[in-house]
């Protein structure tokens, strides 16, 4: 996959929120229907605003240029395209507990192991991965994941330190947030072109089709797409995966459907 292609489609790099237009885009302009290759970074949040300290405490920034969410005190859930393989890995640093990446209060923990979804890159889909940390982070709450499709609709929240506009290649120092509406699988596939290869059973589309303006972008890959459940608690329903550009009209972001892989994620986390 060429550099221009993956940069446009995947959102591995950082999430950032753009100015007046407020658009959050998952991938850059071009497009491959699948996320970037091993170790490649993707998109960020466009069209967002700054998150307050402690608003989304489980957000994680990974040193390879991806986002993630604290799944257990010692495991970060991110995207498979952010890592190269399953196995021992001490090269990743996770930054937690802050919205300002330059804050002296940031918690930084090295990785020890990575589990990459074995179905990633196949017709089954599965752009998810787990990063085990060297020690548990007990001062930061975890984000639970959806185990049924009950919450795979409505209006979702996104957040990240990625690019604030398509092609900017400049991540955000501060955590940015935005909201994106659900786009049905039928509507998403009907857009055609880039979206013909959508895997309905494994992916969720979200974005303002009519106007664009808000989306995840390069650098936001692996970060969570989330919403409130029936008890008012945050729940992760998607993982930033790929898209056709960032915050373009009629070009929604594509997210890993967490509920589809919830059992596999839990089983893998119990073993690493």
Phi, psi of 18 (to 5 degrees): -80, 170
Contact 247, 25 (CB under 8 A): yes
**For the chain, where are the E strands, in sequence order?**
49-50, 59-62, 66-72, 75-78, 87-88, 93-96, 107-116, 129-133, 144-145, 155-160, 176-183, 203-206, 224-228, 234-243, 253-257
- Catalytic site includes residue 127: yes
**Angle, vertex CA 127, rays to CA 31 and CA 52, nearest 5:** 90
**Residue 215 and residue 248: Cα distance in Å, rounded?**
8
**How far is CA 43 from each of CA 25, 151, 197, 230, 262, rounded to the nearest angstrom?**
7, 24, 19, 30, 23
Contact 12, 27 (CB under 8 A): no
- Catalytic site includes residue 163: no
* Candidate list 127, 157, 215, 220, residue with the active-site label: 127
* Candidate list 81, 163, 208, 242, residue with the active-site label: 81
Tokens representing 237 are 């329903």
Contact 105, 111 (CB under 8 A): no
* Candidate list 28, 165, 221, 241, residue with the active-site label: 221
DSSP string of 33-73? Answer: SS---TT---B--BS-EEPPTTSSTTEEEETTTEEEEEEET
Question: Where in the sequence numbering do the catalytic residues fall?
Answer: 81, 127, 221
């Amino acid at each position: 996959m060429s550099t221009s292609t993956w940069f446009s489609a995947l959102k591995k790099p950082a999430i950032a929120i753009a100015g007046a237009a407020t658009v959050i885009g998952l991938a850059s302009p071009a497009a491959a229907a699948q996320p970037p290759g091993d170790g490649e970074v993707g998109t960020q949040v466009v069209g967002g605003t700054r998150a307050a300290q402690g608003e989304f405490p489980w957000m994680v920034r990974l040193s390879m240029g991806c986002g993630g969410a604290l799944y257990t005190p010692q495991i970060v859930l991110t995207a498979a395209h952010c890592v190269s393989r399953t196995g021992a890995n001490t090269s990743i640093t996770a930054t937690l507990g802050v919205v300002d990446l330059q804050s002296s209060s940031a918690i930084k923990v090295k990785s020890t192991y990575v589990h990459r979804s074995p179905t990633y890159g196949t017709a089954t889909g599965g752009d998810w991965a787990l990063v085990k940390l060297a020690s548990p982070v007990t001062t930061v709450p975890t984000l639970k994941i959806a185990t049924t499709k009950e919450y795979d609709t409505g209006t979702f929240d996104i957040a990240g330190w990625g690019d604030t506009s398509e092609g900017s290649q400049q991540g955000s120092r501060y955590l940015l947030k935005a909201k994106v509406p659900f786009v049905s699988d039928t509507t998403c596939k009907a857009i055609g072109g880039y979206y013909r290869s959508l895997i309905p059973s494994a992916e969720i589309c979200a974005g303002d089709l009519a106007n664009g303006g808000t989306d995840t972008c390069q650098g936001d890959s692996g970060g969570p797409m989330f919403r409130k459940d029936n008890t008012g608690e945050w729940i992760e329903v998607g993982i930033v995966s790929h898209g056709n550009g960032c915050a373009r009209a009629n070009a929604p972001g594509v997210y890993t459907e967490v509920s589809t892989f919830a059992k596999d994620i839990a089983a893998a986390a119990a073993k690493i």
